[in-house]
A and B are shown apart, each in its own frame.
Chain A
Amino acid sequence: MNKDLKASAPTDSEIVLGILNNSEVVLKRLYTTYFPMILQLIINNNGDEDDAKDIYQEAIIVLYNKIKAGDFELNSKLKTYIYSVCRRLWLKRLSQMNRYGGDIRDFEEHLPVEEEIDNHNDRDIQFGKMESALQLLGEPCKTIMEDFYIKNRSMQEICERFGYTNADNAKTQKYKCLQRLKKLFFQQK
């Protein structure tokens, strides 16, 4: 990417279209355009650059999912939206760490975004459960699950990879793994 491209901020509709079309270039431009704003917010409010990275990526994921789900309406600027989400997330993080002094230094205007963050958090909790369920599942089940359901590999490929003599054995194995994964997932509180 050349410098000029980097310097000019992409328009909001460009970004929405780019994300819907899975454009890597647009995602990168989105990311690099607004990161300094959030870095500024976080490091001037008791955070460091790693906090800024976490918070910013979380906000980008919220935005990304919202666009992908098709319910993102451009009734505010993307910039304001991202700032508001990050601000909300950071306030929450600060109070969890007991570092919140009751005062935040603001750099941009912001909107109320509590509801979206709550939705996002609910989903994050589910993902957390899935992650630990997969960890507990162990190998080779974890890889079989990932290959089949996430990477959409065929049973044939999986068969070869794990050296199962026939597809039926592999299917049985996959079934057992799925049952265990479900059990582990639902056991968690």
Chain B
Amino acid sequence: MSDNQLTEFIERYLDGSMTAEERVQFELLRKNDAAVESKVTEHAKFIGLLKQYGERLELENRLNAIHNEIDVHALKEEVMIHPVWIVRLWRNHHSKISVAASVMIFAVLSVLIVTGKLSNERSKYEELKGQIKTINDKVKHINVNAGGRTPVRPKATTPPANFRGTGFALTSNGYLATDYHVIKNADSVYVQNAAGESFHAKVIYTEPQYDLAILQINDPSFKNLGPIPYNVKRAEGDLGESVYTLGYPADNMVYGGGYLASAANYSGDTTEYVISVPVNPGNSGGPLLDEKGNVIGVITARQTQVAGAYFAKKSTYLLKAIQNIPTDSLSKTLNLNTKNKLAGLSRTQQSSKLKNYVFMVKVYNQ
């Protein structure tokens, strides 16, 4: 039997068009001949696949026909989620944006490193010497004159100061403490009391490493201040202790209260307290007082990058500076007051007593 005939038999066998006799014969053949048997299965399988393939094509055509009736475009608009533009921008360009951001960060870091801004803690440290806006002061001066009144200040001719800070009395005979950076490079220094009276003062001693300076009022119009009500404390203040200061960040005396935050500043410098007392340029050199009215420090600076962190030099360094003053630069005795007369008073009573001993330090230089 040729392959051709065999295939025909198989096909007829499979589609059931054989006579009963032929069928019996063929089944016998199938049983006895494994080659025939495997040909039958193989043929059935192959033709089955071919038929399924045909069915699949037909189904695909039907589906395509259905699909063509759908208005896909309208539907698309309906189901599309429109993300906000920033999300779209990010999705479409995120790699570019990332690269740009990296480059930016790299550039900023390089600049910071090259300029040394990153390594220098001092850059965040702002000394609180107030630069006075000359124009403002000039306007004021003119106004006073235009009003036809004589200025209250004895020295009406005093030109407007370039810089301003605060200082406080150490003795009744006119010794004052302030910050070195306030009077640095000064051509002349005047101090002004709460009543608005200005007196000429001279710098008798400075300790730049601790940012401290001692002034002496040497003005003929100066009268004795009367006994100093506070003393300068030797011991260190305690963390969390309530503290306050008086100073001249503005033309009038300003009170600032808060607490002692740390016994060392952020650079690890233990000569300074960190305090949480809001102070501003002009407060430099002001006294930092504790509850009882003891001077425990001198306001120096603020942290520009940490909100609410300010610095005050510890009072021990002030005492050391006073001891270090050469005796021949003292024309009068400098005997510190050791009796504190403020201890039992309320904060407001303390402040009103203190204000006569806290001065605005005005600095002139060309």
A31 touches B63 (CB 8 A): yes
A43 touches B67 (CB 8 A): no
B49 touches A130 (CB 8 A): yes
B79 within 8 A of A: yes
Closest chain-B Cβ to A55's Cβ sits at a distance in Å of: 12
Pick the residue among B8, B50, B63, B76 that contacts A149 (CB under 8 A). Answer: B50
B154 within 8 A of A: no
A31 touches B56 (CB 8 A): no
Nearest CB in chain A to that of B47: its residue: A149
Measured in the bound complex, the distance between the Cα atoms of B80 and A57 in whole Å is: 20
For residue B50, which residues in chain A have a CB less than 8 angstroms away from its CB? Answer: 130, 145, 149-150
B108 within 8 A of A: no
B62 touches A36 (CB 8 A): no
For residue A130, which residues in chain B have a CB less than 8 angstroms away from its CB? Answer: 49-50, 53
B59 touches A64 (CB 8 A): yes
- A64, A105, A149 interface centre (most CB from chain B within 10 Å): A149
List CB contacts (< 8 Å) of A1-55 with chain B.
Answer: 24, 27-28, 31-32, 35-36, 39-40, 43-44, 49, 52-53
For residue A60, which residues in chain B have a CB less than 8 angstroms away from its CB? Answer: 63
- Please report whether the interface of chain B is mostly helix, strand, loop or mixed according to DSSP: helix
Measured in the bound complex, the distance between the Cα atoms of B81 and A135 in whole Å is: 42
Total A-B Cβ pairs within 8 A:
82
B51 touches A149 (CB 8 A): yes
For residue A43, which residues in chain B have a CB less than 8 angstroms away from its CB? Answer: 76, 79-80
A150 touches B53 (CB 8 A): yes
B28 within 8 A of A: no
B53 touches A131 (CB 8 A): yes
Measured in the bound complex, the distance between the Cα atoms of B74 and A35 in whole Å is: 13
Q: A64-B59, A149-B51, A175-B4 are in contact. Are A39 and B79 (CB under 8 A)?
A: yes
Closest chain-A Cβ to B46's Cβ sits at a distance in Å of: 6
Nearest CB in chain B to that of A176: its residue: B4
B75 within 8 A of A: yes
Measured in the bound complex, the distance between the Cα atoms of B25 and A34 in whole Å is: 54
For residue A31, which residues in chain B have a CB less than 8 angstroms away from its CB? Answer: 63, 66-67
For residue B66, which residues in chain A have a CB less than 8 angstroms away from its CB? Answer: 27-28, 31-32
Nearest CB in chain B to that of A60: its residue: B63
B328 within 8 A of A: no
A162 within 8 A of B: no
For residue A39, which residues in chain B have a CB less than 8 angstroms away from its CB? Answer: 72, 75-76, 79
A151 touches B54 (CB 8 A): yes
Closest chain-A Cβ to B75's Cβ sits at a distance in Å of: 5
Measured in the bound complex, the distance between the Cα atoms of B55 and A81 in whole Å is: 23
B7 within 8 A of A: yes
For residue B80, which residues in chain A have a CB less than 8 angstroms away from its CB? Answer: 40, 43-44
A182 within 8 A of B: yes
A57 touches B79 (CB 8 A): no
B76 touches A35 (CB 8 A): no
For residue B64, which residues in chain A have a CB less than 8 angstroms away from its CB? Answer: 57
Nearest CB in chain B to that of A24: its residue: B62
A49 touches B63 (CB 8 A): no
For residue A75, which residues in chain B have a CB less than 8 angstroms away from its CB? Answer: none
B54 touches A150 (CB 8 A): yes
Q: A150-B54, A151-B54 are in contact. Are A44 and B81 (CB under 8 A)?
A: yes
Q: A43-B76, A171-B8, A175-B4 are in contact. Are A57 and B70 (CB under 8 A)?
A: no
Query: What are 7 A-B contacts with C-beta separation under 8 Å?
Result: A31-B63, A32-B70, A35-B70, A49-B73, A123-B52, A175-B4, A182-B46
A residues lining the B interface (CB < 8 Å): 24, 27-28, 31-32, 35-36, 39-40, 43-44, 49, 52-53, 57, 60-61, 64, 105, 123, 126-127, 130-131, 145-146, 149-151, 171-172, 175, 178-179, 182, 185
